[in-house]
Chains A and B, each alone.
Chain A
Amino acid sequence: MSKYLDLSLIEINELLKSKKITPTDLVLECFEKIEKNKDLNCFITLDKEGALEKAKSLEDKEIKSLTYGIPIAIKDNIVTKNIKTTAASKMLENFIPIYDADVVKKINDADMIIIGKTNMDEFAMGSSTQTSFFGNTKNPWNKSLVPGGSSGGSAAAVSARLTPIALGSDTGGSIRQPSSFCGIVGLKPTYGRVSRYGLIAFASSLDQIGPMTRNVYENALVLNAICGKSSNDLTSYETNEDFTRLIGKDIEGMKIAIPKFYMSDAIDKEIKDKLNNIIDLLKSKNCTIDYVDIKYIDKAVPLYQIIAMGEASSNLARFDGIRYGYSYENPKDIRDLYFKTRRFGFGNEVKRRIMIGSYLLSGKNATTYYNKAMAIRDDMRNSFLKVYQDYDLIIGPTATTKAYPLGQDLDDAVKAFMDDILTIPVNMAGLPAMSLPIGFSTDHLPIGMQIIAAPFKEAKIYQLASFIEKELNLDLCPKLGGESNE
C-alpha cells in the first residue's frame, strides 16, 4: 500500500505538482486504509464513486493551493448534496440532502475531495460517539476505549491517518474533547467565523463547524478555506485573513492566563502534570502566566444544559414524519404520527434532551430558566473579555480525563455534560479554542490542552500552538492492527 497520505500537505503538494502522483492515487490509498480499519467504525457513509470522479476531474485543473486533491471526511450532521446525511439518527437514516452546506461548497471550491460522512453522537448529543444509531466508533490508540464525541468519527479517522483532514462541529466541546482523546489538533472557531448554513442545528447560539487535522499548520489551512460570511447565515462574518501568518513567529513575552477552575481537583493528576510542563516551557520563553477567575465558570454546565436543551427542543421540533425523515407506518391520525414518529425515530439521549428542553421553554419557565441563563451567560462572556484586556491567551486542559472504556456510565444522564466541563464555557462565550496534543499518559493515551483566544483571534492560537507543537515534537501516529503502542 502506498503511504503518500502519511506525508505533510506540503510534501504531497510537491508530488502532485511534479506529476509523480495524482489525486486518484490519494483517494485509492484513502479507501484502502479505511477498508483495512473498518473495525474502528469511523464512517456512516462512504462515497468512493463520487470521490474518484472528483479526483479525475481535478487532474486537468491547475494546482492553486495546498488543499488541492486532498481527501477530507465530513461529520454526518453537515449536509452534502446527493450524499446521505443522517446525523447518526434513525430519524434521518435514509435522508438525502438536496443542497450543499456552505462549508461543503467551500471545500469543493478549495479542490478537496470528500470521501465520506463520519460517525458521531446522534444529533451531536453526547461526548463519546456511543449514542450513534450506527454503533460506536473505537479509539485508534486503544480499541476498547471511546474516541470522545460528538465528532468521534472525524477524530478517529484523522488520528488513524485514514484521511489527513476532517470537519467536525462543536456545541459544547464536540471538536476539542475527541481531538484530545485521539491525539489530533481540533479547532472550534469564533462563533460566526464559519457559516452554519447546512449544519443540522443542535443549539443554534452555540454550534460552530471547525477543522480537525494532524497538525497545527494544516488546521490553519483548512480554516482559511472554510471561513467567511454567507448570506445564508446572518450570524456569520466576513473576515479576510491568513490564519497561517503567525505560525512559527516568536512567542517571547506572551501574556497567558489560566482560570483557577481549570486546575481544580476535578482534573486528573496526569493531565495537570502535562499542563505544568507546558507552563514551565512557556516561562522559559519569558511568558507571563497568571491564574485568574472567570465569573460563573463553575456554573457553566447547568447554564449550558438550559440553553442547549432549550434550543435543541426547538430545533428538533421539525422532525414530524411529514416532509422528510423517518415516519411511523400506520398512524391513526396526525397526532399519532407526530408522537410515534418521534418515539421510534429518536434515541434515548435525544428524547431526554428534547423533553427537558420543551419543559424549560414552556410558559413561565422560559423566563425562569432560559432568559436567566442567557443573562448569566452574558456576564460570563464579559468576564472572559475582561481577561483579554490584559492577556493574549487563556490556556487549560481540554478534558478532565483521558479516553475511558466503551460502555462506561453509558446510562448516566449527566456524564456527557460533565465530560465537557472545561470546553462548555468557551461555547457560552462564543470564543475560538483549540485542543492541541501535549503528551501521553503512562498507558500511552493522548492528552490535550486547550488554547482559548479573544473573539476572532484564531491566528494567535495558531502562533502559540505551533511553538508548543515544535518543542514537543510528539509521535502522534497510533500503531494500528493489534500492535502495541508501547
Chain B
Amino acid sequence: MKDALTKEEVLHVAELARIEISEEELQMYQVKLKTLLNQIEEVTKINDHDSDYLIAPWQEDAILRSDTEGEMLNSKDVLMNAPRKSGNYIEVPVVITNE
C-alpha cells in the first residue's frame, strides 16, 4: 500500500468537497488523507457480515408529522445572517461567466 495520494487524487477530492487548497496544503493532504484511507480500507476486507443495510439506529414504524400549519420564520429574521443582501433578497456573485 503506497503512503501518499498523488497530487491529482487530492485535487479531485478537494473538487468534490468544494474546498480550495494551496500548494503547501496539497502536499500535507497527500499524506494525511492517505493515512485515513488506509485505515478505512480495513472495512472493505470484511465479508462475513449477515445484514444487508442499516436504515436507522433504532427503528419502529415510520412516523409521520401531523399535517398542520406550523410557526413561520419571517424574512427579516431569515436575512439577518446573510452576508450580502439587497432588499428582501440574498445577493449572490456571478453564476454564469464567459470563460
Contact = CB atoms under 8 A, between A and B. Distances in A.
Contacts, number: 166
Interface string B80-94: 111110000010111
9 smallest beta-carbon distances between A and B, as pairs: A430-B57, A324-B81, A327-B83, A378-B54, A378-B51, A339-B20, A358-B16, A358-B17, A343-B20
A360 B43 CA distance: 12
A323 B81 CA distance: 7
Contacts of B20: 339-340, 342-343
Given A322-B92, A414-B36, A355 B17 contact: yes
Contact of B92 (A313, A334, A340, A352): A334
Interface stretch (A67-75, A94-102, A156-164, A244-252): A94-102
Given A98-B73, A358-B13, A372 B43 contact: yes
Given A234-B65, A351-B17, A356-B33, A377 B40 contact: no
Nearest to B71: A99
A383 to B, nearest CB: 10
Interface residues of A, number: 72
Given A302-B42, A376-B51, A378-B51, A413 B35 contact: yes
Interface in A152-197: 190-192
Contacts of A83: none
A430 B14 CA distance: 31
Contacts of B92: 322, 334, 337
Given A356-B33, A356-B40, A376-B43, 10 more contacts: A299-B42, A305-B39, A317-B18, A343-B19, A343-B20, A354-B17, A372-B44, A375-B51, A376-B49, A414-B36
Contacts of A429: 57
B56 A235 contact: yes
Interface of B: 13-14, 16-21, 29, 32-33, 35-37, 39-44, 46, 49-54, 56-58, 60, 63-66, 70, 73, 77-78, 80-84, 90, 92-95, 97
Nearest to B47: A372
Contact of B94 (A305, A333, A339, A414): A333
A231 interface: yes
Nearest to A342: B19
A321 B81 CA distance: 11
Contacts of A320: 18
A376 B43 CA distance: 9
